[in-house]
Chain A
């Protein structure tokens, strides 16, 4: 059974702080990992994906992957109230039309 685990939160951070979102996965065969943001009542939107160990930065977002520990994280620097949403972590067994296994999501609240 492939599982992706996330702390459901809510995670509250003050505006301007760094928000750290964590995710673990059970399937060692997972190769690609994705972070989606979902606003209430809306569908998920892709923020970043990562498939190599280490860090990947895109603007205020940094994804971190540690395959040995089966751990993925997303850092959001200079958090803004507009970042308040549920963040979904997902894992894929490979490129192409493979299924994604989603975590249940972490709700982030950025306090002005």
Chain B
């Protein structure tokens, strides 16, 4: 149980285009999801907290107009990287808080490469 499905697992896009990443909780309802970014050999960096039915809360330094987060239902949150640039190339991972209240379960991650 407590599976989070993330798609796509990898994507290559041209500079200036937008990319949408989906994160679904398959067997539980996730009122809160978190979006992380991880550059090579670095730790997870929290980008934003996504709450169902309300606006996401972004961490300092994360551009909310560039990284659009939508959490329209209890099982789906999306991250759209708008006008992507090569410096946005990274590993993006979503996670959802377990209903047990202990810990997160992570999606499998999306490797984004902007060329």
Which A residues lie at the B interface, using CB under 8 A?
A: 32, 34, 36, 41-46, 49, 51, 88, 90, 92, 95-100, 102-105
Contact = CB atoms under 8 A, between A and B. Distances in A.
Contact of B43 (A42, A97, A102): A102
18 contacts: A34-B102, A34-B103, A34-B104, A42-B108, A43-B93, A43-B106, A43-B108, A43-B109, A44-B44, A46-B104, A49-B103, A96-B97, A96-B101, A97-B32, A99-B46, A99-B49, A103-B43, A104-B43
A100 B49 CA distance: 11
Nearest to B43: A104
User: DSSP majority for the A interface?
Assistant: loop
B43 A88 contact: yes
B113 interface: no
A103 B45 CA distance: 10
A99 B108 contact: no
State which size class the interface on B falls in.
20 to 34
Q: List 5 A-B pairs, minimum CB-CB distance, nearest first.
A: A95-B101, A97-B32, A104-B43, A97-B97, A43-B109
B31 interface: yes
A81 B37 CA distance: 27
A43 B105 CA distance: 10
User: DSSP majority for the B interface?
Assistant: strand
A49 B106 CA distance: 15
B34 interface: yes
B21 to A, nearest CB: 13
A42 B101 CA distance: 24
B44 A88 contact: yes
Contact of A32 (B102, B106, B107, B109): B102
Contact of A45 (B34, B42, B106): B106
Contacts of A51: 102
